Every structure is written in structure tokens, then in C-alpha cells.
Amino acid sequence: MKIRRMGIVAIALASTGALALSGCAGGTTSAEGGSIITTNGTEPQMSLIPTNTTEVGGGKIITSIFAGLVSYSATGEIEDEVAESIESEDGINWTVTLQDDWTFTNDEPVTASSFVDAWNYGALVTNAQGSSGFFDNIAGYSDVSNTKDDPTGATDESGAVLQIPDPLAETMSGLTVVDDTTFTVQLSGAEADWPLRLGYSAYSPLPTVAFEDMDAFGENPIGNGPYELAGDDAWQHDVQIDLVTNPDYSGVRTPANDGLTIVFFASFDAGYAAVQGGDLDVLDQIPESALASYESDFPDSFVNEPAAVFQSFNMPYYLEHWSGDEGKLRRAALSMAIDRAEITDVVFQGTRTPATDFTSPVIDGYSDSLEGSEVLEYNPEEAVALWAEADAISPYTGTFDIAYNSDGPHQVWVDAVVNSVKNTLGIDAVGKPYPTFAAAVDDREASALTGGTRAGWQADYPSLYNFLAPLYQTGAGSNYEGYSSEDFDTLLKEGAAASSVEDATAKYVQAQEVLLQDLPTIPLWYQNTSGVWSDTVSNVEFGWDSVPLYSAITKN
């Protein structure tokens, strides 16, 4: 998922956010008189369709209102949820058997077709779903995703040649409904750990009503998870969303509370003030302004521990000076010009760890000794030498900038990074703020950046592959800056098709060593789970992906 998108803005916005929350949080009760847990969130980038929700704000909601075949424990192990069993003898042909007592909140049964139809919808290229790539290992995916250039040369508004199907099927051949509680999945190659993917929200089932009008469904989704929307007006855009418990839910995440109110704050500072004032129960990220004080402010109710979150910034290949041999030299120079240790210590007060790879220390297979990882170490002399070598190819002029969304907690560290680059390389370097996450993503999608861009990843499922394929595979949905490497793609495919987790990990390590040579992104640090909660709640625990386990929280 695209990384968090809220954080520090003006103090005036912080106080406004706190006021907006007052009266609807700390003591909120449901219509039945039960307690509602209040927590922070962000306005979803898209409507709430599981296969098109790829960022944290929407993801928190989707995973709360939908239940997939499996879910993840606090430490990242999979637990059967809707699935009774997921079995295979060869890692290619899988049989999925469902429990037979699941329903959506409109009383429609959850069947094998609920999953198969949803996955086919997500994969079909004409539906333009952001998570379509998660189905690329299912046989027949290429038949629903293949496109070619329009032979007439027609172009879109940006001048790019329009794509048309070549030819296009409507369903993947690898999915077959056997009966109401059974379907089979044929993969394009052996994948021993395929079930590990299935707790990600893109693999959620959908009721038949969704396919009647998907846009309308996304505004008021009907799920089968532990929570459901609290009425037709539950989603107040840019303000909050109200969820209540689903009385028919029978999975492993049965809520110990009566619902959630997820408030879309203008900043984490506003959320922090709300927790201090008793108007918010749980805040899942500590603002930079409170990093030095949160332990004394909340001595018995804070967390600071590793999580599956990676931060970086990208340099687009379409910009002058950033492709070919010159681009490789400049990317390496930039990386070595950044003092990660000082920034994580001074700016983040130890709530970040300098990156040594492209994944996370909490993921099985992580390595801090990849070949070529010295490019991630602060080396000002080598940085200057590499920059000069690139200048000999084509002199660099103008100002270097890093784009970021100012509604997120990014300005302080972006300023620190550009100052490190400026002081080391002797060039003009600045941060380039966008007012919102959506505005920043729009320019990324339109290839309209003028310099680097803040990037990062919060894992969708606990696997090295998930940190690599969606971001760097040729044509991947979140590969906005256009990286393409045949060597990387080949290693990734070989890893996905490996017969054991150990063999797969070895391929993913090699794939990352290709990334260290090319640096399509400049790794910065791993983000810890850092959150606080008020004395209004108990049993607060954060998962492997840094998201609170909402269903376990109880109101005091």
C-alpha cells in the first residue's frame, strides 16, 4: 500500500482538527448503547472497492468491513477466516474450500462465486483496478490484461498512445467454481507460499449487488467482515467514517467493542492533541513534534517497535540527467550524500532505522548484508566524485527538489534530506510541498514531476515479494516512475515460482542486488510502529503492519 499520507501541517490546522473531533469521540456510544472505539485515519484516495484500494487510509476501512479467505495474526501468520482449507499437492493447482455459514451484511451468502467473480473483476484491465497485478500469477491473467497500442495512433490527453485489448477475455481460465463452497485456482507456476497472499484486501469477496453499479457500491460497500458501515451516511468525506459491529460475523476477529469511528485528521498533531484531551482513543503514528515527549506523556500506553514499513524517495526516469549511465551515477551520488543515521537519530528520535535493503527487518528473508548495499551508506567523498563523473557526461544545472504531501508527516525529514544533499554535493536542493496526498499522486501518475518524490511502502502481506513486485516490476501498478529491468523481472518471476520459501528468498535477494545497482528508489529508513492511546481503552495491540488490531480493543 502507498505509505501514510497525513501528518504535520500548521498549528492552526491542528487545533481545527481537534475541535472537529470534540463531542464525537472519547465517550461515543452506538445506538444500542455500546462503546465505540475512536481512532485516526485518512480520507480514502478512491471509493471503497477492495481491488482498487491501495493506500493506508482506505485499507484500514476495507480490512475492517471485509473478510477474506485468511487473515493475519499480530505477528503476520495466516489464520483461516472464510476458508475451511486451502490445499495443493504441487503448488500450482489449489483447491479452496469455504466454510458454509458466511453471509454479507445484506444477508446474501458468501459463496465460491463471491470470490471468483471479485478476482476476475479486479484482474480485468478495462476495470482499471489498482490491485490488478495481485492476480498476475493466476493462469489466464494475461488474457484479461493484455493490451496493445491503438493502430490508428490515437492518443490520450497527455499524448500517450491509447491502449486497446489484444484480444481480451472476461475471466481468467485458472479460476473455476466447483460448487457453492469450493473453487479451484490454477497458478501459472508453482508457488509454495501462495496462501500467504490471501489475507490482503484485494482478495476479498464481493456480493452480486456490487457488479450492478461498482461506483455506487464503493461509496456504500456491503462486506462480510467484523464491522459494517453505520448507515447510508456513515462515510462523511474528509471528516470521518462510522462503523458498527456486524452481528453475523463469525471469524477470528470478533470485535470486543461495538464499532469504530475513524476520524480523518488534518494532521497527526491534531490527533495527538485529541488523545491527550480524551477525545480520541488510539493514534497510530506519533507526530515529529511529540517524538521527544510521547514516552513521558503516555508512560503506560505507547508503542515503538519495528513494523513492515519502508520509506524512500524516487527519481523519475523521464527527467533529464536521471536515466542511462549518467542517471546511475547521480542516483548513487544522491544516496551516498544522505546521512541516514543522523536523520533517524535527530529528526526521528530513534523511531526509524536506516535502510539496508528495500524491504523490512520484520519480514522473513530480510538481509542487512546485500552485495552493493554500501551505496546506502553515508560517504560524502564518494558522492562528490560520482556527481562530478556524471557532470562530465552532462552538467547538472538548476534546483534539485523532492515532492511531498504537506498533509503528511514529511516536511521535517524532506528538509533534512535535501539539506544533506545540498551540503554534500554543493547544489541547490529544496522540498516541494503538495497540499494533499492525492495532488502529489496525480503528478506522479501524469509523469509531471520536476524532481524526486517521496515514496514508501507499507506491506500488504508479510512477504519480500510484496515489497518488490508492486513497486519495481515492469508495468506494475505502483511503479509510477517507470523503472524497467529484464534482470530484475526475471529474478522476481523465478522467486515466485520457486518450490520452497528458501529458494524464493535467494532469488529475491538477487533481485534486490539488481535494485542496488539501478536505484529506481533511494532507500532511506524503516519506520517503526509508534503510537499512543488514552486511558479510555485497554487491550491495544498493533499488528506486524503497524495497524492497530481494532477488534481486540476494549473501552474502559
Q: Write out the chain's pLDDT in tens, 556 residues.
A: 333 323 222 222 233 333 333 333 344 444 344 699 999 999 998 899 999 998 889 999 999 999 999 999 988 889 999 999 999 998 899 999 999 999 999 999 999 999 999 999 999 999 999 899 899 889 999 999 887 666 666 666 556 666 666 778 999 999 999 999 999 999 988 887 899 999 999 999 999 999 999 999 999 999 999 999 999 999 999 999 999 999 999 899 999 999 999 999 988 999 999 999 999 999 999 988 898 899 999 999 999 988 898 999 999 999 999 999 999 999 999 999 999 999 999 989 888 999 999 999 988 889 999 999 999 999 999 999 999 999 999 999 999 999 998 877 788 899 999 999 999 999 999 999 998 888 888 888 888 999 999 998 888 888 899 899 989 999 887 888 889 999 999 999 898 888 777 888 999 999 999 999 999 999 999 988 899 999 999 999 999 888 999 999 999 9
Contact between 280 and 40 under an 8 Å Cβ cutoff? The reply is: yes
Report the Cα–Cα distance between both ends of the chain, in Å, rounded: 33
Q: H or E stretch including 489?
A: helix 486-496
C-alpha cell at 520: 529506481
Name residue, grid cell 500450482.
Answer: 92
User: What are residue 466's phi and psi, to 5 degrees?
Assistant: -70, -25
Tell me the three state secondary structure of residue 476.
coil
Beta bridge partners of 185: 94, 175
Which of 3.90.76.10, 1.10.10.10, 3.40.50.1100, 3.40.50.970 is the CATH number of 67-208?
3.90.76.10
Distance CA 138, CA 134 (A): 9
- C-alpha span between 225 and 84 (Å, rounded): 16
CATH 3.10.105.10 residue ranges for the chain: 306-529
Which conformational region is residue 49 in: left (phi greater than 0), alpha (psi within -120 to 50 degrees), or beta?
A: beta
Q: Class for domain 1-66+225-301+534-556, per CATH?
A: alpha beta
Domain with CATH 3.90.76.10 in the chain: 67-208
Name the amino acid, one letter, at 350.
Answer: G
Residues contacting residue 485 through CB under 8 Å, at least 6 positions apart: 472, 474, 514, 518
Angstrom distances, CA of residue 245 to CA of 156, 242, 551: 45, 10, 9
Per-residue model confidence (pLDDT) at position 198: 96
63 in Cβ contact with 202 (< 8 Å): no
What backbone phi and psi angles, to 5 degrees, belong to 555? -90, 135
All CATH 3.40.190.10 domain ranges of the chain, comma separated, are 1-66+225-301+534-556
Write the CATH number of the domain with boundaries 306-529: 3.10.105.10
What is the model's pLDDT at position 33?
41
- CA pair distance 434, 414, nearest whole angstrom: 13
Q: Report the distance separating Cα 281 and Cα 241, nearest Å.
A: 15
Closest to 467 (Cα-Cα) out of 475, 477, 476, 457: 457
